């Protein structure tokens, strides 16, 4: 649970980085920040969802 919360904080910071770099028109950095936002955000949201629904962070396998 702690790891997913840390990854969620990283994703939130990357969302701010996407906005900041769009203003600077640095599209290379926008790409990396957006990719990081998508990967870390998806992982953290799905882990938190799995913990809420199954009680563990791992898939149940059925």
Cα angle 12-18-23, degrees, rounded to a multiple of 5 = 135
Q: What is the pLDDT along the chain (62 residues), one digit of tens a residue?
A: 788 889 999 999 999 999 999 999 999 999 999 999 999 999 999 888 888 888 776 666 55
pTM for this model (two decimals): 0.79
Calpha distance 23→52 (Å, rounded): 37
Specify the pLDDT at position 54.
84
Residue in the block written with tokens 């809420």: 52
Query: What ranges do the domains of the chain cover?
Result: 10-54
pLDDT for 58: 65
């Amino acid at each position: 649970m702690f790891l997913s919360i840390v990854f969620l904080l990283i994703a939130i910071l990357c969302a701010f980085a996407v906005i900041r770099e769009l203003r600077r028109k640095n599209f290379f950095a926008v790409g990396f920040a957006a990719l990081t936002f998508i990967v870390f955000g998806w992982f953290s949201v799905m882990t938190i969802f799995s913990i809420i629904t199954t009680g563990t962070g791992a898939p149940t396998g059925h």
